Chain A
Amino acid sequence: MMIIIWLYVNTGNIGVVDKRDRMLYFTRSYIVKVNKDLSKGKFGNNFRASFPVSTNLLEKYMYPLQTPEAKSIVGCYSCTVYNPQKHRYEKMNDIYTDAAFWKIFSMRFISGVPFNDTDVKSKAMKVVIDETTAYKLFGKTDVINYPVQIDWKEYRICGVVEDVPSYLKEAYAHIWLPYTSGSSYILQSGDFSDLPDVVGGMHMYILSHDISDQREIRQEMEHQIQKLNAPAKDVQFFLNHQPDTALEYLFRDGSGHYEMIYDKMKMVLIVLLVLLILPALNLSGLIVARMRKRAEEIAVRRAFGASTGNILMQILIENFIQMLIGGIIGICLSYGLFQAFREMLLTSALNTESYEISTLSFWHIINFSTLGCVVFLCFLLNMISTLVPAWYYSRISIVNALNKK
């Protein structure tokens, strides 16, 4: 269950990240040698470098994409904010982004509104802050139009949103600013060999109309990247199978071939199977011992006309109900365990000085999806551990069973 919860927290539609099933991630620039074999085995030899994407590249080549519903440039940094209450500077996590960010994530505004396209284009010094930051800086949340000093520049607060838990790493920050208003190091775009403007510090979230559009979006992106690569002679930009779904993004390696994503997924699947099969085998032994004790009862039922199917179903359903009760207790225990070890199990786009994973909301974990997983796992565990003993004892000889032979 811990693995299921871990996968769900990282890939499910939770809280403000409620469109993850339609979200695609373009997070890294992969620079490779021109016209070389980029299959998994040869990738390491021809790979040159990997880093986040530059603002220029995203603006010039990715903003024009037609297929997606929305595209948002996002850069996660930490900024220095002057706290007038404490009279000192503090470090806070911020996100430099554009107006589409508010379409992709469902933030709840306590007051004010987000910055819009015009604000981003005009480099407006507007900022959205979260509830906690509003209290920290001003002692209240009704702070629209209040000035706030970020990285020694004065911004005006245009909106206050409810806090975003830090485990929702795509949207988590305390401060959200138009990326165009950022300092030069935020907007910098560096060259790599003869590829201009590819080195940067941003990435892009893409909201598709439907997740099946992924292939079409990828083709469109490939087409755009061809334009970027056209003049390059030494190195070229490689998408490495981006954009990713939330699940692919979770397993993406910063410098590896994209097929490694699927290798890692297979590993997790194998671990899941081992963790499922080993207890199932143990459980199977216990069920055999229990069936042996109940052999007489089964024989009596058979003597009164119960068919093999009746007995089989009875045993399977009995065990399934027991497992379901165990499963529900298990998911609640897993929730507690996950809560206790959340800082170890979840990573967030944070810096090493203030690394804190928010307390997991109970309803983010216990919901229809995770309960559905419990039912499915219990069914699977039941089939592995009970089917063979149940099949054997449903066909037991009445006379032998009654004689305890």
Chain B
Amino acid sequence: MIFHLFKLIRNQWKSNVWIMAELFISFICLCAVTTSLYTLVSRYWIDKGFDINHVYMASYVKKPVDSPDYDTTRDNGADLRELAARIRKCPEIDAVGFTTNNAFPYSLNVSRDRFYGDSARVSAVYGTLTPEIVDVLRLSSPVAGIDLKKEVKNGTWLISESAMAELYGKNVVRTHLYKSKKRTKAIPCVLANYINYEYNDTKKCIWETESEANLIRKQHDDFTKPVLLFRVKPEADHNFHNFFFSSLRNQLVSGNHVIVNITPMNEYRNNTLNMYGVNMLYGIGYFLCAFFIVCILLGIIGTFWFRTEARTSEIGLRMALGSTRKQIRNQMWGEGLLLFSLVWFPGVIIFYLIHDTFKLYETSLSGWAFCLTVMLIVTLFMVLLIMVGIWYPARQASRINPVDALHYE
């Protein structure tokens, strides 16, 4: 049977070469598209290491120094702490904390600093947070059994896995680092599961922990101000914006500071990713993947449909000579799949080389395992397309009256 199919392919080699070229290009393109799609989807579902559900950011403003209402006698830091304390007193609130403007999710601020281990150094995103932030953002450690809440209370800093790997190698959980090259004061740090946002490649982060008073004192000036985050109890998180402003109406002003808005962090995430074009970029990625898949799908189905339809007279003749419909369908499927199998192996080699050279993917699987998985999925998909493209026209053609078929001759 297989030799017969080879003979048929050879007899029409001119048209079959074009089909093989199309299958070859489609196979490589589909493999690339599947890899890109996997990367896009996996970035969305990555374990972020924090939880922003039921978390709100309180926006506050300081009266302009040149406004008539500005009170020069006030301690601005104490006023800000007073606002936080008032929020903390609300029974609907779980936890309240402060961070610097880069040490919270979706800040998209990646200002770095240099840190030192015993022998190595790392350039990592650096920010400060109060211990309560661990509760607010439900920060966790990748290592089971580490209680970050307890750790940060003792002034231990948080370090991400990739930063730790660069300083001390993998599998280190608790160690120390230095802020200066002279390595005078060792700062205890522990492995934490914290990245800025899921689309960020900078996964090297080091977060200093400070008491609320110190953080506000150090960070509160005309150009920077601490970020106030709080977690609401899930059962209270319904129409919370209105509830917050009605229940705290008389407590939103403290000295020169006024709380003007609260934003759910999920909304903040969406706004930030829209504003910085991240959503658009990834949206384009999804769109292009879908576009190429549809083009390839229509292309392959169309080609085999057209090829099978064009051979109606041949099919009729075969039927007149005694072939059954099943035999006709199997022969057409066999030819299509044989054409694909002829280009499959070169396709696999070329895709592996492209995959290995550009490394445009992110996966926990090894290179070969990932490559094989992608190729398996694409192969099954293409086989399906070829069979669909052949099945319907072959079925129609095999219903031809042999007399009509003989008329073609």
Mark A residues whose CB is within 8 Å of B.
80, 86-91, 151-153, 183-185, 275, 278-279, 281-282, 285-286, 288-289, 292, 341, 343-345, 347, 350, 352-355, 404
Knowing A87-B249, A275-B291, A282-B295, say if A184 contacts B306 (CB, 8 Å): no
A184 to B305, CA, bound (A): 72
Known A-B contacts A275-B291, A355-B271; A285 and B302 likewise in contact (beta carbons under 8 Å): yes
Indicate whether B120 reaches chain A with its CB closer than 8 angstroms.
Answer: no
Taking Cβ atoms with an 8 Å cutoff, the residues of B that contact A are 57, 59, 61, 63-70, 222, 245, 249, 252-253, 258, 260-261, 263, 268, 270-272, 274-275, 277, 279-280, 283, 291-292, 295, 298-299, 302-303, 305-306, 309-310, 313, 408
A183, B279: Cβ atoms closer than 8 Å: no
In the complex, residue of chain B having the shortest beta-carbon distance to the beta carbon of A153:
B67
Known contacts A151-B64, A153-B68; A90 and B260 CB within 8 A of each other: yes
Given the known A-B contacts A152-B70, A275-B291, are A352 and B261 also in contact in the complex, defined by CB atoms under 8 Å?
A: no
Q: Is B295's CB under 8 angstroms from A278's CB?
A: yes
Query: Can you name the residue of chain B whose Cβ is closest to the Cβ of A87?
Result: B249
A281–B295 Cα distance when bound, in Å, is 9
Instruction: Say what secondary structure dominates the interface of chain A.
Output: mixed
What's the Cα separation between A128 and B205 when bound, in Å? 45
Are B274 and A80 neighbours in the complex by a CB distance under 8 Å?
no
A352 & B268 in contact (Cβ 8 Å cutoff) = yes
From A151, A289, A344, A345, residue with most partner B Cβ within 10 Å: A344
Q: How far does the Cβ of B12 sit from chain A's closest Cβ, in whole Å? A: 16
Cα–Cα, bound, A344→B280 (Å): 5
The answer to whether A343 touches B274 (Cβ under 8 A) is yes
In angstroms, Cα B309 to Cα A289, docked, is 9
**A281 to B253 Cα, complex, angstroms:** 65
Q: Is the interface of B mostly helix, strand, loop or mixed?
A: helix
Q: Are B59 and A353 in contact (CB under 8 A)?
A: yes
Q: Which residues of B contact A281 (CB under 8 A)?
A: 299
**Docked pose: A301 CA to B295 CA in angstroms:** 34
| The one of B64, B272, B291, B299 that contacts A185, using a Cβ cutoff of 8 Å | B64
B279 touches A152 (CB 8 A): no
A89-B61, A90-B260, A152-B67 are contacts. A355–B280 as well, Cβ < 8 Å? no
A289 touches B306 (CB 8 A): yes
Q: How many angstroms from the CA of A354 to the CA of B271 in the assembled complex?
A: 8
With A and B bound together, what is the CA distance between A90 and B268 in angstroms? Answer: 17
Whether B64 contacts A353 by the Cβ 8 Å rule is no
Q: How far apart are the CA atoms of A185 and B223 in the complex, in Å?
A: 10
In the bound complex, how far is the Cα of B309 from the Cα of A87, in angstroms? 75
Q: Are B65 and A353 in contact (CB under 8 A)?
A: no
CB <8 Å contact, A80 and B68: no
- On whether the beta carbons of B252 and A89 are closer than 8 Å, the reply is yes
- Chain A residues with CB under 8 Å of B66's CB are 183-184
A185 contacts which chain B residues (CB < 8 A)?
64, 222
Once the chains bind, are A183 and B261 in contact (CB under 8 Å)?
no
Give the chain B neighbours of A285 by CB distance below 8 A: 299, 302-303, 306
With contacts A151-B67, A353-B57 known, is A88 near B249, CB below 8 A?
yes
In the complex, the chain A residue whose C-beta lies closest to that of B284 is: A271
18 A-B pairs with CB atoms under 8 Å apart are A88-B249, A88-B260, A89-B258, A89-B260, A184-B64, A279-B295, A281-B299, A285-B306, A343-B279, A344-B274, A345-B283, A347-B274, A352-B268, A352-B272, A352-B275, A353-B261, A354-B261, A355-B271
